[in-house]
């Protein structure tokens, strides 16, 4: 994929990008930045905005979280985004193909899949095979959503055919169905289970069935505050930003 090559090139410049403005040592910046990001990034990105705001008190970060596919479509249709962070390469590639990125996307985090079940795991779900049981009410994200696509890939690797009762708009909607007791299980990210606190229990998926999730990020071309937008991206790739991401369960790319 062309994006994979672009991300490889970008990796050589990450250290340089992180050494300056990301630490807040440079003069404070002001203004508004709107960040479009996959829903699994909700908690970590809000915290990153709060932390960056301490060094830039006149900066304001607004977030639009949703499925990466929906956000990519919104951006290519002209939605006023300053930064785009996707939960997969494919949707970032759509924005890249439309020539709507200001610079090369950078991979800033990775994630893993996990099965979310009710607290205490009352249905005794031990792995992906149990998701095909007739007594298990399963929900997944829609196949057009990265989390849904990854879930189907993991199930395929395990040789499991499972029929979800619903296909949700994004991964947080899957998590909510399980946490509210409307489903027995859902395939989400490790970070979603961590963010849920005690509302759900996580069941690990073995490495042989796992799908490694990589998150690319880029400043959107024609951003009205390019300097602050780049500052936000730089912060996420800096040691301080990586620490924030780690607190919410994300791993380094």
Amino acid 27: pLDDT: 84
Tell me the per-residue pLDDT of 92-127, one tens digit each, with 9 for 90 and over. 999 999 999 999 999 999 999 999 999 999 999 999
Task: Outline which parts of the chain fall under CATH 3.40.190.10.
Answer: 2-110+215-247, 113-209
Rounded to 5°, the CA angle 50-26-58 comes to 40
Q: Which pLDDT band, with edges at 50, 70 and 90, does 212 fall under?
A: confident
Q: Which pLDDT band, with edges at 50, 70 and 90, does 26 fall under?
A: low
* Cβ proximity of 92 and 84 under 8 Å: yes
SS3 of 144, please?
A: coil
Amino acid 4: pLDDT: 47
Mean pLDDT of 156-161: 98
Q: Which pLDDT band, with edges at 50, 70 and 90, does 3 fall under?
A: low
189 forms beta bridges with 113
Query: Does the pLDDT at position 149 exceed 70?
Result: yes
Query: Does the pLDDT at position 11 exceed 50?
Result: no
Q: Which pLDDT band, with edges at 50, 70 and 90, does 224 fall under?
A: very high
Write down the CATH superfamily of domain 2-110+215-247. Answer: Periplasmic binding protein-like II (3.40.190.10)
- The Cα 8–Cα 151 span in angstroms is 26
Query: Does the pLDDT at position 21 exceed 90?
Result: no
Q: What is the pTM of this model?
A: 0.88
Could you confirm whether domain 113-209 is CATH 3.40.190.10?
A: yes
Tell me the per-residue pLDDT of 164-181, one tens digit each, with 9 for 90 and over. 999 999 999 999 999 999
Q: Which two tokens stand for residue 209?
A: 């069935």
Q: Which residues contact 15 (CB under 8 A, 6 or more apart)?
A: none
Query: Does the pLDDT at position 152 exceed 90?
Result: yes
Amino acid 20: pLDDT: 39
Q: Which residues contact 110 (CB under 8 A, 6 or more apart)?
A: 212, 213, 214, 215, 250, 251, 252, 253
- The Cα 22–Cα 239 span in angstroms is 9
Longest dimension (CA), the chain: 60
Amino acid 22: pLDDT: 39
Query: Does the pLDDT at position 5 exceed 70?
Result: no
| Mean pLDDT for the chain overall | 91
- The Cα 113–Cα 204 span in angstroms is 8
Q: Which two tokens stand for residue 160?
A: 């499991």
């Amino acid at each position: 994929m062309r994006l994979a090559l672009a991300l490889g090139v970008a990796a050589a410049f990450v250290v340089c990008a992180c050494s300056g403005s990301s630490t807040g040592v440079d003069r404070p910046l002001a203004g508004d930045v709107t960040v479009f990001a996959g829903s699994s990034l909700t908690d970590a990105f809000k915290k990153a905005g709060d932390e960056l705001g301490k060094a830039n008190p006149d900066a304001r970060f607004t977030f639009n979280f949703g499925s990466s596919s929906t956000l990519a479509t919104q951006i290519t249709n002209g939605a006023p985004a300053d930064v785009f962070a996707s939960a997969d390469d494919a949707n970032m590639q759509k924005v890249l193909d439309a020539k709507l990125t200001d610079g090369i996307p950078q991979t800033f985090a990775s994630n893993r899949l996990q099965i979310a079940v009710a607290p205490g795991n009352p249905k005794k779900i031990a792995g992906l095979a149990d998701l095909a049981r007739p007594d298990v009410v399963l929900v997944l994200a829609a196949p057009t959503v990265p989390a849904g696509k990854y879930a189907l890939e993991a199930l395929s690797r395990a040789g499991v055919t499972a029929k979800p009762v619903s296909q949700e708009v994004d991964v947080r909607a899957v998590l909510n169905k399980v946490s509210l007791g409307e489903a027995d299980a859902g395939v989400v990210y490790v970070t979603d289970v961590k963010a849920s606190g005690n509302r759900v229990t996580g069941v690990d998926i073995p490495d042989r069935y796992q799908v490694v999730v990589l998150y690319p990020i880029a400043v959107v071309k024609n951003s009205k505050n390019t300097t602050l937008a780049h500052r936000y991206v730089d912060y996420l790739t800096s040691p301080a930003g990586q620490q924030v991401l780690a607190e919410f369960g994300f791993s380094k790319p």
